[in-house]
Amino acid sequence: MSMFLFLPIPAMEVIGLVGLVSAIFLGLVAVWYVRSSPKPLPIVGNLFDMPSEYPWLVYDQWFKTYGDIIHINVLGQPIIILGSLKRTSDIFDKRSSSYSDRVRMPMINELMGWDFSFGFMRYGSRWKQHRRMFNSNFNPAASAEYKPAHIKEARALLGRLLVDGQGFMHHLRHTFVATIMRAVYDIDVAESDDLYISTAEAALAGLAIAGNPGAFLVDLIPFLKYVPTWVPGAGFQKLAAHWKRLTSQLVEIPFQVVKGRMNEGTARPCATVRMLENLPEDNYSEYEVVAKNCAAAAYGGGADTIVSSAQTFFFAMAKYPEVQKRAQAELDAIVGCDRLPDFDDRPSLPYVNAIVKETMRWQNVTPLGISHTCTQDDTYDGYFIPKGSIIIGNTWSIMHDPKAYPEPDEFKPERFIKDGVLDPTVRDPNVAAFGFGRRICPGRYFSDNSLYSIVCSVLSVYDITPASDEKGELKLEMTSGLISYPRPFDVSITPRSDAARSFIIEPPNSSGN
């Protein structure tokens, strides 16, 4: 999702003459030959067409009118929105050498300090350096080493739900922060008032706000980053300074804990230790920064994006009891009643795996992902795409394509099942859920394992039903922004049986594999 393209109408009153001058200065820098698109106005282009909330839903409607590739122009900036898997595959995969760059993000990167994360970095040698190191510690083989951490924290979640089921949304965030902290830093988080959880929540809340389309004018007019804090209208500078302190804590504090342990000889195996032990002697200090950044990127990503999917899963189980019952029947048949499920059971649990896939598909964590930009003029399918155009892949439209997923608004894990096994002919949500092309999220294997461990563990011992005081039909409302979360909702979480309750209180020993 672009961080600087969408400007809500109230903000125009602030820009005034500055906005007009900037628009003229930028000019209409590109020529685009299109068959159909929303009609632009002189100078400002499609500025007033841009949605300030839930843009993925607006774009999805546009695709129905204009087709699956749309061009718009905002103050001279060409924007191309892709609405099908064919378009994103053609552009981001087959032409990845030209479409793997990121747009400039002044608020997030330059003012808030998120330039440490390779997810927001411009394409180039620095990005490749970070991506390579991260991938070596979170590829499928490396991610398998963290399975015991997933199982341990998933079972700790079961205990928290027994004590306070109403706090399940917070418990889920606690679980994922605890899992990533154990895997990346070998740090145990506290049950309450934990520094690492509070830091992650605050820093990521700032990121979510700054990622909202049109949230800050500095993303549209980058030179505003130099405006002093005392200038009227420069309140964003104070916010940015506050969020930058939080970002710095997220990056530095746990990393320094690990370095201190290594110096003392007390460090245990974790991703950060492995990265530091394998740094090249040449340019050690440079690569140490890369290791620190990669660890923080895992910390931020693992503590945030998968939380949304897990919360969505809880809603879906309350909303679709027949899905829950079918999954529990599968777990009872495969796992039995004398232990809890683990990763060894996963190949034998196709319906549970289908729930994981459907959860990722049904409500996308990042419905627009993060925008790409092209690095050279290009021609595609009769369209001219100028250098510097911003390219948006609408994940929502791909995951709600009725041809690939009949009744896309319904939660139907059985769509992925045929003859009792996962159907390989059904589109895997991973083709879009984690981004596109060379910028696809390398932490997707870790995230998948996280969600599986929660789904199988919770369903094995708990029933999730609508809250007793819930009036009317359950309705899921998602937030708008870079990351989309379910808005708070109430469900009832109760042990399935006395045996299940005993497992929650004292989980049987398990390898966690």
Known binding site: residues? 441
- DSSP letters spanning 65-130: HH-SEEEEEETTEEEEEE-SHHHHIIIIITTTTTS-EE---IIIIIIS-GGGSTTTSPSSHHHHHH
357 and 429 in contact (C-beta within 8 Å)? yes
Q: What amino acid occupies position 313? A: F
Which tokens go with 164? 């306070």
91 and 373 in contact (C-beta within 8 Å)? no
Buried b or exposed e, range 83-118, using 16+ CB within 10 angstroms: bbbebbbbbbeebeebbbbbbebbbbbbbbbbbbbb
Q: How far apart are CA 249 and CA 292, in angstroms?
A: 12
Best CA proximity match to 435, nearest among 370, 351, 348, 502: 370
Q: How far apart are CA 349 and CA 416, in angstroms?
A: 13
Query: What residues are designated binding site for heme?
Result: 441
Does an H or E element contain 264, and which? Answer: helix 235-264
396 and 370 in contact (C-beta within 8 Å)? no
